[in-house]
């Protein structure tokens, strides 16, 4: 049996952590507990963040939205603020895991797991989200794409926890689209995914575009060249195919038990073509 | 207290539904008696090799370890297997697949068990291995068994296939390939066993075949069959995966070294994948021809079934596949050749559809190819060639029992999903293509000739005036227990509160065949009906004595009573039960399934199981939508029309059909055991992809109710037939949508997209 500590405040957290410096920090446990069952990790104790009041809540802050790191996927999905202001995140959450996983898993956990297949990550990259990291004596902020280094690796320092995600005001995007390709319709790990945010003029020209792909590289992949190829253009099959070709060149997918690299590469481009079919 | 009517022909809720939902019903896995020990197997982790040494000293030294057993501790033959006894309980000299058990540990806790297993050092000298059935037949291939790699080679012939091809106006040929499929039941293989002071073994185990388990355990461990008692509670799923020894022999061996303490063995999901058996992978070479008028004329096929390391029921599974290889059609000239071959892959074994799922894919696609070449409508082409009573099937057996494929096809033809299909296809959105596919299938019922398909039912009037049915055939979820209660309720005129069902227990129930082969409700139901009728007659006679009526006419059973209808006088069953000794309060009846009387002069290699004479039929229609950007196939609508004689319980019938279709959709779209050099790359439910509720559309189930006069209340078994159709139907729909033919299943998005890009080139 392992000791599981359930702090209710950040103060309690620091105290527990001092007592159990080797403890694994977690929230929903949807990744950690699976790894422990597989004997991939053997933490001496566990500290669960999900009851810490400071780490919950979804609220506007300045121009943007602050999401507590321990907000569950289900809470985010139900949040009117998320539905209205961050529809692309809501789209991604709707296809994340399954209802039980969405009830347990948290957005902070999805970020700290740093899997290229994390479903919240492409939307958060496209939205230029920042992370808020707290340690006993201070707080710091960092762009999400700087925070995530490689699969399972982040720039979180010893003694720090991820406390919140801050999403800046979106730039008037009037086409927001998330799509995940997986091995089945639910409870699927992404084979490739795309978050696309576009602002189209009344005439249908692309004024601004942000694109981020999941599962086609060691971290979320962005492709400024593909974005540039679309700016100022109308969304036609030809334009999108040009951008798709650029994307296929810049992704670095792997082959694994779910799919091979060639399929992932093809998908990375193909998912972009879907923008033609998104109702707007 | 269970209440409510119990009769035949209407939707009676499952009698085990409430107790399962509340958790009151105990599955084998739910038994945790005091003083429990845990048993677990050390597995080889090598696909083929010679065992040099099994060093158990470090494991034995661990506190909490009660015993560590190896080959030398196994008494008896050390061989298990249902027909071919070729599988060691614990391997001593050779390992033939990675999941081979080489040592057995008994420990005080699960944690100590895991530590002890990790401390066992097994030295195995690797041998060259073979993973493909056709390669395994090549000269110079590594040999798994002393008698070689060929488990069974057989041929079913009728007419003159070679000559007949010359008479065909169109001939098509294609090769098909299907992977191993996992059963994926919720309750993984497990059991609890202990040794009684007299040396006998009692086992509560998740099994489909409690009576046969006794033979297997006794043979393998050198025990007296009578000294083994097997109790089979409801199963948390079986699908064929618990038809044959899983934990049984290891668990009995463990119990023999536990000093009377109860021992539990419960494979976790990974072990269930690695050690459990699976639906056979197969490669199928087909050639078939028809006349210009749309009459099927000739078939030649060569079927290779991958049995993995051991036989299990490989030969019998291939037999059933071969018997169905020509589909549910008149085919005057057939040459069906089969090879069931040992490889160093995981063990192939029984699974719903038992060899028929594989060939259904091939023959139904061949039908579409022929129809297309002949310019015929695929439904009309099937209907024209569909087997009818009096026809001979592709194995040469005359169909003398209910044969209802034609009405199934006609029901499809009348259905809106068929008539409106072109309109639906035109409504596809951007980057979507729609297609509609049809498949007609059949599935034999029972063991076939050579192995009596028998059941013995026992019924008892309790001193309280209730009826107790001693069930001999496990209910793995298919609902036979409820069907038995319905049949007894119908004949005995009782409601649910007056009927009890004792779960299969070799010490209390009477020997019967397994819960398998779509035979469970048919065979035991027939035995039970006779036992109920005898009991009813007996009670009416006894009541006539008590009421001093001159004749037995005019008596009827009503809830709790025997009533003399002319006079309106009642006798309580409880009162009646008190008048007679226990020996007089029971009735026992046996039923043996009829067999084919015109055994064709072919298939001589099968010493049991050939041929069959009862078949259920089905025609399925599927709507699929394919995404051109991702290759994803979405099943949008599904119609399954099934002929299985009369329906005992429409709800149970529908659930069986829906479950079979769901499993078949998984088989078509996503399920596959991924293997590399005999190692399972996805031995877990994270990467072995089963369909979720989101992957399965609404499934409309229609019954074509023929009457099978030999069946209980006119029924035949339908547990398997529905699993055979989704794969070929979806393949047909895919071809309809894209104009592309996929011959290797499952149709995963990457394969579909790959095929599309090839097609575009």
- Decide which of B592, B610, B645 is a domain's last residue: B592
Q: Does residue B288 share a domain with residue B237?
A: no
Determine the distance in angstroms separating the CA of A37 from the nearest CA of chain B, rounded to an integer: 11
Nearest to A267 among B630, B681, B692 (CB): B630
What is the predicted pLDDT for the residue at A171?
80
Q: What is the CATH number of the domain that holds B286?
A: 3.30.365.10
A256 to chain B: closest CA residue: B681
What is the predicted pLDDT for the residue at B1?
41
Cα distance between residue B230 and residue B213, in whole Å: 8
Domain that includes residue B116, residue range: 31-127+189-266
Cα distance between residue B52 and residue B70, in whole Å: 13
* Interface with A, mutate which of B179, B630, B758 (most A CBs under 10 A): B630
Q: Is B679:B45 a contact under the CB 8 Å cutoff? A: no
Q: Does residue B105 share a domain with residue B231?
A: yes
Residue carrying structure tokens 């190692």: B679
Reported as a pLDDT band with limits 50, 70 and 90, residue A169 is confident
Q: Is B632:B432 a contact under the CB 8 Å cutoff? A: no
Closest CA to B285 of B330, B338, B350: B338
Cα distance between residue B686 and residue B280, in whole Å: 22
Give chain A positions within 8 Å (CB) of B430: 276-277
Q: Does residue B102 share a domain with residue B229?
A: yes
Nearest to B689 among A184, A262, A276 (CB): A184
Q: Is B30:B69 a contact under the CB 8 Å cutoff? A: no
Give chain B positions within 8 Å (CB) of A257: 674, 681-682, 687
Name the fold adopted by A53-167.
Answer: 3.30.465
Cα-flanking dihedrals φ and ψ of residue B387, to 5°? -65, 140
Cα distance between residue B393 and residue B613, in whole Å: 10
Q: Is B469:B459 a contact under the CB 8 Å cutoff? A: yes
Q: Is residue B168 part of a domain?
A: no
B697 to chain A: closest CA residue: A185
Cα-flanking dihedrals φ and ψ of residue B75, to 5°? -80, 175
> pLDDT tens digit string along B697-753?
999 999 999 999 999 999 999 999 999 999 999 999 999 999 999 999 999 999 999
User: Would you state the structure tokens that stand for residue B496, as one six-digit string?
Assistant: 């649910």
What is the predicted pLDDT for the residue at B4?
79
> pLDDT tens digit string along B208-217?
999 999 999 9
Q: Does residue B615 share a domain with residue B579?
A: no
> pLDDT tens digit string along B521-541?
999 999 999 999 999 999 999
Mean pLDDT of B83-92: 96
Q: Which residues pair with A46 in a beta bridge?
A: A4, A24
Q: Is A230:A239 a contact under the CB 8 Å cutoff? A: yes
Mean pLDDT of B577-595: 95
CA B519 to each of CA B389, B526, B614: distance values in angstroms, whole numbers, following the listed order: 21, 11, 10
Bridge-based pairing of strands A138-143 and A130-135 is antiparallel
pLDDT at A176 over 90: yes
pLDDT at B760 over 70: no
Domain count, chain B: 3
Q: Maximum distance among all alpha carbons in chain B?
A: 91
Q: Does residue B459 share a domain with residue B443?
A: no
At B476 the three-state DSSP class reads coil
pLDDT at B3 over 70: no
User: Would you state the structure tokens that stand for residue A235, as one six-digit string?
Assistant: 């969304």
Helix (H), strand (E), coil (C) string for B569-636: EEEEHHHHHHHCCHHHCEEEEEEECCCCCCCCCCCCCCCCCCCCCEEEEEEEEEEEEEECCCCCEEEE
* Interface with B, mutate which of A187, A196, A260, A267 (most B CBs under 10 A): A187
Q: What is the DSSP letter of B181?
A: B
pLDDT at B761 over 70: no
B60 Cβ contact list (under 8 Å, min separation 6): B68
Q: Does residue B425 share a domain with residue B294?
A: yes
Judge: A189–B689 Cβ closer than 8 Å, yes or no: no
Q: Does residue B255 share a domain with residue B109?
A: yes
What is the predicted pLDDT for the residue at A79?
98
Judge: B429–A277 Cβ closer than 8 Å, yes or no: yes
CATH of domain A175-276: 3.30.390.50
Q: Does residue B461 share a domain with residue B422?
A: no
Determine the distance in angstroms separating the CA of A58 from the nearest CA of chain B, rounded to an integer: 29
> Quick one: which H or E segment has residue B317?
helix B314-323
Q: Does residue B282 share a domain with residue B218?
A: no
Judge: B431–A273 Cβ closer than 8 Å, yes or no: yes
User: In A, what residues contact B, Cβ < 8 A?
Assistant: 98, 181, 183-189, 191, 257-260, 262-263, 266-267, 270-271, 273-274, 276-277
pLDDT at B359 over 60: yes
Give chain A positions within 8 Å (CB) of B694: 184-186
User: CB-based burial of residue B240 (10 Å sphere; 0-12 exposed, 13-18 middle, 19+ buried)?
Assistant: buried
Reported as a pLDDT band with limits 50, 70 and 90, residue A280 is confident
Q: Is residue B646 part of a domain?
A: yes
Helix segments in B167-292, DSSP class H = 210-221, 248-255, 269-275
Mean pLDDT of B649-672: 98
User: Would you state the structure tokens that stand for residue B121, as one six-digit string?
Assistant: 């050092």
Q: Is residue B164 part of a domain?
A: no
Report the C-alpha dihedral over residues B497, B503, B505, B511, rounded to 10 degrees. Answer: 90
Mean pLDDT score of chain A? 96
Bridge-based pairing of strands B499-502 and B467-470 is parallel
Cα-flanking dihedrals φ and ψ of residue B195, to 5°? -105, 130
A44 Cβ contact list (under 8 Å, min separation 6): A2, A3, A20, A22, A23
Q: Is B640:B722 a contact under the CB 8 Å cutoff? A: yes
User: Would you state the structure tokens that stand for residue B181, as one six-digit string?
Assistant: 């499929």
Give chain A positions within 8 Å (CB) of B749: 181, 183, 191, 259, 263
B449-453 long-range contacts, CB within 8 A, separation 24+: B449/B595, B449/B596, B449/B599, B449/B608, B449/B609, B449/B610, B449/B611, B449/B612, B450/B606, B450/B607, B450/B608, B450/B609, B450/B610, B451/B608, B451/B609, B452/B592, B452/B593, B453/B513, B453/B517, B453/B519, B453/B523, B453/B592, B453/B593
B47-67 burial, b at 16+ Cβ within 10 Å, e below that, comes to bbbebeebebeebeebeebbb
Q: Does residue B719 share a domain with residue B657?
A: yes
Cα distance between residue B390 and residue B240, in whole Å: 31
Q: Is the peptide bond before B187 cis (omega within 30 degrees of 0)?
A: no
ipTM above 0.95, yes or no: yes
Determine the distance in angstroms separating the CA of B750 from the nearest CA of chain A, rounded to an integer: 6
Cα distance between residue B10 and residue B703, in whole Å: 13
Nearest to A181 among B632, B674, B695 (CB): B632
Mean pLDDT of B342-370: 98
User: Would you state the structure tokens that stand for residue B557, as one six-digit string?
Assistant: 């059973």
Closest CA to B460 of B559, B554, B573: B573
- Decide which of B237, B266, B295 is a domain's last residue: B266
Q: How far is CA B687 from the centre of its chain?
A: 24
> pLDDT tens digit string along A82-141?
999 999 999 999 999 999 999 999 999 999 999 999 999 999 999 999 999 999 999 999
- Strand order across the beta sheet in which B281-290 lies: B150-158, B333-342, B296-308, B281-290, B170-178
Q: What is the DSSP letter of B80?
A: E
B690 Cβ contact list (under 8 Å, min separation 6): B184, B666, B670, B671
* Interface with B, mutate which of A179, A181, A253 (most B CBs under 10 A): A181
User: In B, what residues contact A, Cβ < 8 A?
Assistant: 429-431, 629-632, 634, 669-670, 674, 681-682, 686-687, 689, 691-695, 748-750, 753-754, 757
**How many CB pairs below 8 A link A and B?**
61
CA B683 to each of CA A45, A257, B269, B643: distance values in angstroms, whole numbers, following the listed order: 29, 11, 8, 36
pLDDT at B287 over 90: yes
Cα distance between residue B562 and residue B542, in whole Å: 10
Q: Does residue B231 share a domain with residue B348?
A: no
Give chain A positions within 8 Å (CB) of B179: none
Q: What is the CA radius of gyration of chain A?
A: 19
Angle between helices B356-374 and B378-385 (to 10 degrees): 110
Q: What is the DSSP letter of A255?
A: -
Q: Is B301:B336 a contact under the CB 8 Å cutoff? A: yes
> pLDDT tens digit string along B142-159?
999 999 999 999 999 999
Determine the distance in angstroms separating the CA of A15 from the nearest CA of chain B, rounded to an integer: 31
Q: Is B54:B103 a contact under the CB 8 Å cutoff? A: yes
- Decide which of B209, B236, B266 is a domain's last residue: B266
User: Would you state the structure tokens that stand for residue B710, as one six-digit string?
Assistant: 């030999």
Q: Does residue B236 share a domain with residue B97?
A: yes
Q: How far is CA B530 from the centre of its chain?
A: 26
> pLDDT tens digit string along B5-15?
899 999 999 99
Nearest to B629 among A184, A191, A270 (CB): A270
At B276 the three-state DSSP class reads coil
Mean pLDDT of B58-75: 98
Mean pLDDT score of chain B? 97
């Amino acid at each position: 049996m392992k000791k599981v500590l359930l702090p209710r405040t950040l103060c309690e957290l620091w105290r527990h952590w001092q007592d159990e410096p080797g403890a694994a920090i977690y929230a929903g446990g949807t990744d950690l507990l699976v790894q422990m069952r597989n004997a991939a990790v053997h933490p001496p104790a566990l500290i669960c963040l999900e009851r810490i009041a400071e780490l919950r809540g979804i609220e506007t802050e300045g121009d943007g939205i602050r999401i507590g790191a321990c907000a569950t996927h289900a809470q985010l999905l139900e949040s009117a603020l998320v539905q209205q202001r961050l529809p692309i995140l809501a789209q991604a959450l709707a296809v994340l895991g399954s209802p039980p996983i969405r009830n347990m898993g948290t957005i902070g956990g999805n970020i700290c797991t740093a899997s290229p297949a994390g479903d919240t990550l492409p939307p958060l990259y496209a939205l230029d989200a920042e992370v808020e990291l707290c340690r006993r004596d201070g707080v710091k902020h960092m762009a999400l794409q700087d925070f995530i280094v490689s699969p399972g690796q982040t720039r979180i320092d010893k003694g720090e926890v991820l406390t919140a995600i801050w999403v800046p005001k979106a730039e008037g995007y009037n086409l927001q689209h998330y799509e995940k390709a997986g091995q089945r319709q639910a409870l699927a790990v992404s084979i490739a995914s795309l978050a696309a945010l576009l602002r189209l003029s009344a005439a249908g020209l692309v004024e601004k575009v942000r694109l981020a792909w999941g599962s086609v590289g060691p971290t979320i992949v962005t492709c400024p060249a593909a974005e540039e190829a679309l700016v100022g253009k109308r969304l036609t099959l030809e334009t999108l195919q040009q951008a798709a070709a650029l994307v296929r060149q810049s992704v670095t997918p792997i082959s694994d038990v779910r799919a091979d690299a060639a399929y992932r590469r093809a998908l990375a481009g193909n998912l972009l073509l879907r923008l033609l079919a998104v109702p707007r | 207290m269970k209440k409510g009517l119990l009769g035949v022909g209407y939707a009676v809720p499952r009698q085990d539904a409430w107790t399962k939902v509340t958790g009151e019903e105990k599955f084998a896995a739910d038994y945790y008696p005091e003083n429990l020990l845990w048993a677990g197997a050390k597995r080889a982790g090598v696909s083929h090799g010679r065992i040099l040494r099994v060093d158990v000293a470090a494991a034995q030294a661990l506190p909490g370890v009660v015993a560590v057993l190896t080959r030398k501790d196994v008494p008896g033959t050390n061989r298990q297997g249902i027909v071919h006894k070729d599988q060691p309980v614990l391997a001593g000299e050779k390992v033939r697949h990675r999941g081979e058990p080489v040592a057995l540990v008994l420990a005080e806790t699960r944690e100590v068990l895991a530590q002890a297993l990790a401390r066992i050092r097994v030295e195995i000298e690797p041998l060259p291995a073979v993973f493909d059935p056709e390669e395994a037949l090549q000269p110079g291939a590594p040999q798994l068994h002393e008698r070689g790699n060929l488990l069974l080679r057989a041929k079913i012939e009728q007419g003159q296939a070679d000559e007949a091809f010359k008479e065909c106006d169109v001939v098509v040929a294609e090769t098909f390939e299907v992977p191993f499929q996992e059963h994926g039941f919720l309750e993984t293989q497990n059991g609890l066993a202990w040794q009684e002071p007299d040396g006998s073994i009692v086992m509560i185990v998740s099994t489909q075949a409690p009576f046969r388990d006794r033979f297997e355990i006794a043979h393998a461990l050198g025990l007296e069959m009578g000294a083994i008692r097997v109790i089979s509670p409801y199963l948390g799923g079986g699908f064929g995966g618990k038809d044959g020894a899983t934990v049984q022999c290891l668990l009995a061996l463990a119990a023999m070294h536990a000093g009377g303490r109860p021992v539990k063995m419960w494979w976790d999901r990974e072990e269930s994948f690695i050690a459990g058996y699976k639906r056979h992978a197969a490669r199928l070479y087909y050639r078939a021809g028809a006349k210009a008028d749309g009459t099927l004329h000739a078939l030649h096929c060569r079927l290779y079934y991958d049995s993995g390391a051991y036989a299990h029921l490989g030969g019998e599974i291939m037999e059933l596949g071969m018997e169905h290889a020509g589909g549910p059609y008149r085919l005057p000239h057939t040459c069906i050749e089969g090879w069931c071959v040992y490889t160093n892959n995981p063990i192939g074994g029984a699974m719903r559809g038992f060899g028929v799922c594989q060939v259904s894919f091939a023959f139904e696609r061949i039908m579409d190819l022929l129809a297309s070449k002949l310019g015929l409508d695929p439904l009309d082409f099937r209907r024209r060639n569909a087997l009818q009573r009096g026809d001979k099937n592709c194995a040469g057996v005359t169909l003398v029992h209910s044969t209802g494929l034609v009405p199934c096809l006609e029901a499809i033809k009348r259905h809106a999903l068929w008539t409106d299909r072109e309109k639906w296809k035109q409504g596809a959105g951007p980057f979507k293509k729609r297609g509609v596919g049809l498949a007609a299938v059949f599935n034999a019922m029972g063991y076939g000739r050579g192995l009596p398909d028998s059941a013995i039912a026992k019924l008892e009037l309790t001193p309280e005036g209730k009826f107790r049915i001693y069930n001999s055939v496990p209910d793995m979820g298919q609902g036979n227990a409820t069907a038995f209660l319905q049949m007894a309720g119908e004949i005995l005129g009782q409601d649910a509160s007056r009927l009890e069902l004792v779960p299969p227990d070799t010490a209390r129930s009477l020997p019967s065949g397994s819960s398998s082969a779509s035979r469970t409700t048919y065979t035991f139901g027939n035995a039970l009906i006779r036992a109920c009728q005898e009991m009813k007659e007996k009670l009416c006679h006894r009541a006539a004595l008590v009421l001093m009526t001159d004749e037995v006419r005019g008596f009827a059973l009503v809830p709790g009573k025997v009533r003399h209808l002319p006079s309106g006088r009642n006798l309580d069953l409880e009162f009646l039960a008190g008048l007679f000794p226990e020996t007089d309060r029971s009735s026992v009846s046996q039923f043996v399934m009829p067999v084919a009387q015109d055994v064709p002069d072919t298939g001589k290699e099968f010493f049991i199981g050939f041929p069959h004479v009862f078949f259920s039929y089905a025609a399925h229609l599927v709507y699929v939508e394919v995404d051109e950007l991702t290759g994803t196939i979405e099943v949008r609508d599904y119609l399954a029309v099934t002929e299985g004689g009369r329906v005992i319980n429409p709800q149970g019938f529908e659930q069986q059909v829906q479950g079979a279709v769901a499993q078949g959709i998984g088989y078509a779209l996503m399920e596959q055991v991924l293997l590399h050099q005999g190692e399972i790359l996805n031995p877990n439910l994270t990467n072995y992809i089963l369909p979720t509720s989101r992957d399965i559309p609404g499934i409309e189930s229609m019954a074509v109710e023929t009457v099978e006069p030999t069946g209980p209340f006119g029924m035949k078994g339908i547990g398997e037939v529905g699993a055979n159709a989704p794969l070929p139907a979806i393949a047909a729909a895919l071809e309809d949508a894209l104009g592309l033919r996929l011959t290797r299943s499952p149709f995963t998005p990457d394969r579909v997209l790959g095929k599309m890009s090839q097609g575009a080139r």
